[in-house]
Amino acid sequence: MVEGMYHKIAETWRRLYRERNDALKQRIVAARHEHAIVRVERPSRLDRARALGYKAKQGFIVVRIRVGKGGMRRKRARAGRRPKHIGVVKIKQAESMKRVAERRVAERYPNMDVRGSYYLFEDGRYYWFECILVDRAHGAVKNDRELVHQLSH
């Protein structure tokens, strides 16, 4: 069986997760000090991004998002603030953290469509995902017939 480049990339990521690699730990430490939603230049896991429809062209962006663990049992803040900003609403037991991440990214980038997201890494407090976003109104996307066909379905 011939193994392609994307298969090799996927195998490398599986090995990093399995061995709890130091390089991955360093990335987690660096990601902890960033904002919750960060636009990144290119996808970390190219195999997953391409499977979700990512193309290295204008109109596509990749966003890394951090979502806190904890689910339903998140404590409400004691000081006064509106419920939206406490960070406890809309985290439902039935909704996966991946779905929460996609929804938050969609709220931050209202002009973009979320193509999909994939797991990146986690620590004791957070999950990190990368979301692929596409701008339907961008000329490079409008002129790509294959992409327009995919987006219309």
| Across 72-88, average pLDDT | 69
Return the domain boundaries, the chain: 5-152
Name the band, by pLDDT with cuts 50, 70 and 90, for residue 34.
Answer: very high
Q: Give the model confidence (pLDDT) of 35-52 as tens digits.
A: 999 999 999 999 999 999
Q: Helix 5-19 to helix 22-32 angle, to the nearest 10 degrees?
A: 80
**40-49, 122-131, 137-146: which has the minimum mean pLDDT?**
137-146
Task: Tell me which of 3.40.30.10, 3.90.226.10, 3.40.1120.10, 3.30.420.240 is the CATH number of domain 5-152.
Answer: 3.40.1120.10
